[in-house]
Amino acid sequence: MVTLTYVHILFVALILAMLALMAFRKSIVLPCVAGILVMGWAVTKSAVGGVQALFNALIWSGNEFWGIIVVISLVTAMSKALSALGADVLIIRPVSRYMKNRSVTFLLLGLIMFAVSICIWPSPAVALVGAIILPLVLETGIPVVWAAVAMNLFGHGIALSGDFFIQGAPTITAKAADTSVGALIHESILLWAVMAVVTATVAFIMFRRDVKKLPPVKVERTASLEKPRPAARVMAVVTPLAFALDVALMLVFKLQGGDATALVGGTALVILCAATCLNGGVKKALDSVIDHIKDGFGFGIEIFAPVVFIAGFFFLGSADGAKAVFGGESTGIMNDIGLYLAQNVPISRVPVVLAEALAGFVTGLDGSGFSGLPIVGATAVTFSQALPVNREMLASLGQIITIWVDGGTLIPWAVIPVAAICGVKPEELVRKNMLPVCAGIFATIVAACLLV
């Protein structure tokens, strides 16, 4: 039986304070620094420990984000090299013929993001789709925030919450729920589909309502009078083939998470070097490749600098983050709260579903990715032992909600990659996501109450 202490209450109070500040559109970097200091002092019972927690939290947070920073930086640098060569226009030419109006373009962007994300996960997909497809999308007059919504909902939401190909999320959940990955995926499909269809439909209706007020944009993409260079043609063919090969290798060798991201990042670096060498020769490339890399990493570091501070506080809610920052036998604060809620809700079918959903939502607030999956799996086991419910479907409900929140679409510090690549504020993106995602969660909970 989990017992909540003053540390748990303090952390929740600080989170509520952060959410209140964000509601008033205030930056929370400084409050997060203060929050880390206060939590460090409270847990270690030492002022020195509180100060040390500041540094430890930033190191832990930075390490968690470094892979994303590098892959986004490398893909950004690659896109600049391809642009300098003129290959980027040739790459997107096949897609451009279908992007003639806002509605079709919105759906097409979402489907492209889904297809790429479900194969290589959303983090590298954001950089790929954002660098190559986004400029084309904006030509149709779609507000950039709605382009970000399409990428975020279809990538970090629909694709990641199912994760049917790479199967990282269902593997973690299934192990915690003491069931097989295949059984969990099978039982999750219906709830996943409800969440995906409702969220996408509500978002599309809101999008149509917003763009109806905008003047029509006539998109004319005439063939360029300038004949592309042979090197540009070569890279325009090689680049998509290289990333298609990456996807095939991921599926064949079952590369997941960091391994998949590493393959995409390495491929981007190879393409960056090749495109630079073809654009003026190796001698010129010795200098120009450095410029592209500086531009790419300048973009990555500039965007993620405040994120490291914000995430440093919220990662304290996970067990791994707490141990890394505070040391000793620190437990996951948000996980404890999720278990407490699960253990103190009256046992019957509807309250069980609501408790599982609430546990998934609460454990998703730390924004660290998959940290809530073990707790929703374990919670499903607890409930299935006390009541004859479908354990796999219950666990999948927790997984879906956790990832939609934590993966994420409702937490500003979790939508940073999409917001960054689109050039919008994370808070603005979350506000647009709020109604569609909440509608999807509500519909999914109702479906779970009927089916579990």
pLDDT of residue 396: 96
Closest CA to 153 of 187, 188, 204: 204
Cα angle, residue 269 at apex, residues 267 and 274 outer, rounded to 5°: 95
Sign, CA torsion 158/163/165/170: negative
Category of 151 on φ-ψ map: left (φ > 0), alpha (ψ -120 to 50) or beta: alpha
Q: Which residues make Cβ contacts (< 8 Å) with residue 23, sequence separation at least 6?
A: none
pLDDT of residue 438: 95
Domain boundaries, the chain: 66-163+181-214+226-305
CB 408 within 8 A of CB 415: yes
| Half-sphere exposure at residue 165, Cβ-oriented, CA atoms within 13 angstroms | 22
In this prediction the pTM is 0.68
CB 336 within 8 A of CB 377: no
pLDDT of residue 222: 54
CB 400 within 8 A of CB 188: yes
Query: Would you write out the chain's pLDDT as a tens digit for each of its 452 residues?
Result: 678 889 989 988 998 888 777 657 677 889 999 999 999 999 999 999 999 999 999 998 888 778 878 887 888 888 889 888 988 778 766 777 788 789 999 999 999 999 888 866 787 788 778 877 888 888 888 999 999 999 999 999 999 999 887 677 888 888 888 888 888 988 999 999 999 999 999 999 999 999 988 776 666 555 554 677 899 999 989 988 998 898 888 788 877 656 777 888 899 899 999 999 999 899 899 989 999 999 989 988 887 788 788 888 877 887 778 888 988 777 778 767 767 766 776 667 898 899 899 888 877 776 655 667 877 887 888 778 667 789 999 999 999 998 998 777 988 767 888 998 898 988 899 999 999 999 999 999 999 999 98
Q: What is the DSSP letter of 101?
A: S
